[in-house]
């Protein structure tokens, strides 16, 4: 007994040193596999917040399959101790917790210790605690983390490495199972971000059903209306790019190059509970739940080619997929079938004269790709480009085409060239983002949400498209996307008919450019409102726009005009007018490293004499010839001649392009196109 006690003391004494990582499982106290609780044996992990405003969050990683599915062998390697053994050694429940015991074990052991003090009841004395050795953990040490490495110091480090490794499939979506999108395709994984995104993807349009409430929603005066129609308090507008309040993040001007988009791996609220909104067509389909590139190849394979359509026989369907090389262009079985034109013979004998391929719509619930049997059989050079693109004429029109329409199955069909779509292996290209985007751009006006609906179309917040029964929200005017059949929603004369109040509610006003743009276009890395005087865009980097319009105190009366002249009572007033009584050299500006006076008088005689002995009223700088320190008389500052390396004696050369006083430009004579650069970029 004494030997056992010594051994146990030795183990528990050094255990915290040997095992620094703490892994405590929760919900391990299930009785049998018939329990109603499906998730069990859970890890509760606190999210590692990257930014100060990230919400506190606990993520649960649970088992959803019962142990009977796995071949779990009896653990004969790790030591185990009864509660009675632990109590003899004066082990506390806190110690068990620190030693990665499951929480149910920790709580039961504390209950057992309480029993010993209050009664003679010792029913839990023989309950067993397993002393697991990393990387194993669990009630019987039956689990392990494959990503565990000796250098890991916490569970969060293990998870971080996992989410940044190739083992983590970031493209695997979480399927929304409560929407019967296409009844014939039960395996289709529908993402929650596909619902109410103003793009019809289900044949029956159920993914956009009842979404009109968001489209026509109006917000209160003290609220901000998100692009998707959601209302949030106005005080949250553009307050923190790392803490968006709108589901689509449209209350924050986040550039596609922002650091925010790089921190996307961990499944936390800031990633998974937000949508990525991109007005640029090159990015409109890039993102899903966590702003990650979606696996459209798999999506379209499931949607288009998973089941045989009723209009075809199995032999026709399988042969067509082989001939068109869909979904696998290198299927060896298809190679055997289709050699020596056997595929075309089977198609001619077994397939209908004309058919949709795939049998389901490829866009907006009514746009199909179609072939005729003759087109395939008579091909001289193989191609899987479809012969026709078909659509419901009641849902879109206004195409500028001279092609001859072909009616088929309640649709109107045209050749792809009639839509200005590039030729090529269209189906193969369609399931890639590049072609999918081009089809969206050309046929987006076929994405009809509201049509012949007086309940919504007669509202003052809605715009009725000309020569069409379609209507759209005023928020969609001038957003760079043709929603109406004839593109009238992108004509400025259409927008000018709106009242001034309506314009301010739905659009962003560029004061200098004197025009309105859609709020979707703000911060999209494209300049719609260029101001030549300031050499800036009003719709990009709004914090710079604010700086341009609101002068900083040290910049007043410093000899450099920063603000555009404003006519006041017939006089052009700037930040440099009426400065006679304004001293630029004062206790606030003296020797602060910035030239607040035009000639830099506030910065002379500020350097220790040990650097270089200069006469009074002299600046210290580097000579461009010798690259050694030199003295420069004050009256040579900003005199139009470069005397110092980097033109530090001529700050006006770059200040006229860079307003912020913290970013004084460094002038490079050798770079004629962009001579000014930030001093922070020197020797970095």
Q: Give the global pTM.
A: 0.63
Q: Is the pLDDT of residue 547 over 90?
A: no
Q: Which helix (H) or strand (E) holds 278?
A: none
Interatomic CA distance for residues 53 and 58, integer angstroms? 16
| Nearest one of 574, 549, 569 to 559, comparing CA atoms | 574
Report the b/e string of 448-477 with b at 16+ CB within 10 A: bbbeeeeebbeeebbbebeebebbbbbbbb
Q: Is the pLDDT of residue 430 over 50?
A: no
The share of the chain scoring above pLDDT 70, in percent, equals 75
Contact 347, 323 (CB under 8 A): yes
Q: Are strands 507-510 and 515-518 parallel, antiparallel or unpaired?
A: antiparallel
pLDDT digits (tens, 9 = 90+) for 475-484: 888 888 888 9
Q: Which helix (H) or strand (E) holds 46?
A: strand 40-46
Place 662 in a pLDDT band, splitting at 50, 70 and 90: very low
Interatomic CA distance for residues 501 and 495, integer angstroms? 12
Q: Is the pLDDT of residue 264 over 70?
A: no
pLDDT digits (tens, 9 = 90+) for 484-529: 989 899 888 777 777 656 676 678 888 888 888 888 888 777 888 8
Torsion on CA atoms 354, 360, 361, 367, rounded to nearest 10 = 10
Q: What is the pLDDT of residue 1?
A: 41
pLDDT digits (tens, 9 = 90+) for 214-227: 888 888 889 988 88
The share of the chain scoring above pLDDT 90, in percent, equals 16
Interatomic CA distance for residues 456 and 443, integer angstroms? 24
Q: What is the pLDDT of residue 261?
A: 45
Residues 6 or more apart in contact with residue 449 via CB below 8 angstroms:
198, 200, 208, 211, 212, 215, 472
Q: What is the pLDDT of residue 290?
A: 40
pLDDT digits (tens, 9 = 90+) for 84-96: 999 999 999 999 9
| Nearest one of 227, 206, 238, 332 to 278, comparing CA atoms | 227
Contact 239, 230 (CB under 8 A): no
Bridge partners of residue 624, in order along the sequence: none
Residues 6 or more apart in contact with residue 629 via CB below 8 angstroms:
611, 612, 620, 621, 622, 623
Higher pLDDT, 552 or 15: 552
Higher pLDDT, 669 or 209: 209
In this prediction, residues 99-112 reach a mean pLDDT of 94
Q: In the chain, how many H helices and how many E strands?
A: 19, 26
Question: Is the previous residue joined to 358 through a cis bond, with omega within 30 degrees of 0?
Answer: yes
Interatomic CA distance for residues 96 and 84, integer angstroms? 14
| Nearest one of 399, 419, 192 to 288, comparing CA atoms | 192
Q: What is the pLDDT of residue 129?
A: 94
Place 656 in a pLDDT band, splitting at 50, 70 and 90: low
Torsion on CA atoms 109, 112, 116, 120, rounded to nearest 10 = -160
Phi, psi dihedral angles at 414 (to 5 degrees) = -130, 160
Give the range among 14-23, 269-278, 533-542 with minimum mean pLDDT: 14-23
User: Would you kindly state where each structural domain of the chain is located, as residue ranges?
Assistant: 2-163, 171-295, 308-446, 454-522
Higher pLDDT, 61 or 451: 61
């Amino acid at each position: 007994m004494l030997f056992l006690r010594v051994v146990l003391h030795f183990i528990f004494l050094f255990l915290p040193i040997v095992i620094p990582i703490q892994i405590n499982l929760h919900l391990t106290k299930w009785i049998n596999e018939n329990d109603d609780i499906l998730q069990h044996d859970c890890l509760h992990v606190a999210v590692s917040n990257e930014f100060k405003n990230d919400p506190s969050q606990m993520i649960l990683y649970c088992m959803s399959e019962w142990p009977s599915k796995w071949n779990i062998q009896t653990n004969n390697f790790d030591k185990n101790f009864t509660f009675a053994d632990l109590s003899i050694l004066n082990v506390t429940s806190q110690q068990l917790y620190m030693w990665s015991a499951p929480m149910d074990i920790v709580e039961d052991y504390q209950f057992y210790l309480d029993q010993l003090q209050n009664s003679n009841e010792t029913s839990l004395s023989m309950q067993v605690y397993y002393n697991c050795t990393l990387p194993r953990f669990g009630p019987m040490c039956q689990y392990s983390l494959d990503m565990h490495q000796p250098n890991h110091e916490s569970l969060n480090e293990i998870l971080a490495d996992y989410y940044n490794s190739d083992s983590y499939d970031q493209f695997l979506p979480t399927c929304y199972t409560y929407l019967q999108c296409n009844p014939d395709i039960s395996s289709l994984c529908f993402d929650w971000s596909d619902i109410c995104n103003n793009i019809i993807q289900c044949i029956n349009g159920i993914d956009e059903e009842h979404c009109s409430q968001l489209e026509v929603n109006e917000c209160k005066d003290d609220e901000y209306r998100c692009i998707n129609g959601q209302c949030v308090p106005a005080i949250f507008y553009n307050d923190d790019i790392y803490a968006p309040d709108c589901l689509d993040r449209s209350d924050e001007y986040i550039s596609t190059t922002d650091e925010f988009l790089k921190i996307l791996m961990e499944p936390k609220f800031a990633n998974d509970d937000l949508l990525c909104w991109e007005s640029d067509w090159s990015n409109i389909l890039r993102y899903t739940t966590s702003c990650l590139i979606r696996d459209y190849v798999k999506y379209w394979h499931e949607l288009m080619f998973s089941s045989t359509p009723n209009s075809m026989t199995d032999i026709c369907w399988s042969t067509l997929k082989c001939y068109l090389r869909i979904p696998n262009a290198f299927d060896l079985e298809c190679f055997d079938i289709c050699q020596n034109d056997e595929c075309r013979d089977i198609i001619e004998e077994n397939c209908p004269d004309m058919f949709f391929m795939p049998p389901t719509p490829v866009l907006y619930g009514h746009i199909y790709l179609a072939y005729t049997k003759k087109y395939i059989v008579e091909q001289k050079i193989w191609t899987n480009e479809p012969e026709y693109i078909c659509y419901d004429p009641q849902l879109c029109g206004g195409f500028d085409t001279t092609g001859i329409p072909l009616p088929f199955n309640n649709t109107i069909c045209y050749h792809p060239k009639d839509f200005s779509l590039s030729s090529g292996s269209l189906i193969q290209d369609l399931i890639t983002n590049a072609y999918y985007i081009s089809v969206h751009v050309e046929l987006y006006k076929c994405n009809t949400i509201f049509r012949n609906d007086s309940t919504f179309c007669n509202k003052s917040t809605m715009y009725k498209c000309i020569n069409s029964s379609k209507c759209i929200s005023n928020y969609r005017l001038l957003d760079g996307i043709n929603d109406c059949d004839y593109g009238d929603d992108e004509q400025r004369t259409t927008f000018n008919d709106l009242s001034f109040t309506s314009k301010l509610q739905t659009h962003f006003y560029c004061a200098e450019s004197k025009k309105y743009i859609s709020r979707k276009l703000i911060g999209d890395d494209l300049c719609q409102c260029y101001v030549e005087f300031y050499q800036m865009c009003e719709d990009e980097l709004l914090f710079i726009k604010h700086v341009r319009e609101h002068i900083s105190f040290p910049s007043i009366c410093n000899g450099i005009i920063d603000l555009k002249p404003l006519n006041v009572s017939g006089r052009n007033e700037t930040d440099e007018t009426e400065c006679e009584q304004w001293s630029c050299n004062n206790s606030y500006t003296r020797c602060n490293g910035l030239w607040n006076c035009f000639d830099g008088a506030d910065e002379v005689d500020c350097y220790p004499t040990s650097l270089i002995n200069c006469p009074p009223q002299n600046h210290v700088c580097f000579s461009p010839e010798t690259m050694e320190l030199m003295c420069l008389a004050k009256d040579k500052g900003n005199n139009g001649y470069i005397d110092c390396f980097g033109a530090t004696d001529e700050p006006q050369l770059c200040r006229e392009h860079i307003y912020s006083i913290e970013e004084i430009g460094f002038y490079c004579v050798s770079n004629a196109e962009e001579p000014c650069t930030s001093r922070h970029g020197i020797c970095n």
